[in-house]
Amino acid sequence: MLKIFFYVLAAFLIVGSIAAWAYIVLLGCAYNTSSYGCGLELADFFDGDFSFLAAVPWLLGILCLYLARKIR
């Protein structure tokens, strides 16, 4: 049961940070009425701010994956 919990937590931490950043970028586009091509692009995920903000959830997600694989 703990193993499943760690796998679910790892998935939430890793995928959740990507989804949260996409939501933030799209919210920024909602208030930018002067730009025609504003939207979610792959270049948004190569931003330094994204790397900085996503580092902690990704490290915790990797730790959860490691712990889930160690539990028998």
Per-residue pLDDT of the chain (72 residues; tens, 9 = 90+): 999 999 999 999 999 988 888 888 888 787 776 767 777 777 777 778 778 878 888 999 999 999 999 987
Residue 35's identity, in one-letter code, is S
Give domain limits for the chain.
2-70
Per-residue pLDDT, 5: 94
Residues 6+ apart with CB under 8 A from 16: 57
DSSP letter at 43 equals G
Contact predicate 12/64, CB 8 Å: no
Residues 6+ apart with CB under 8 A from 62: 10, 14
Structure tokens at 66: 């490691």
Per-residue pLDDT, 38: 78
Per-residue pLDDT, 35: 66
pTM score > 0.85 for this model? no
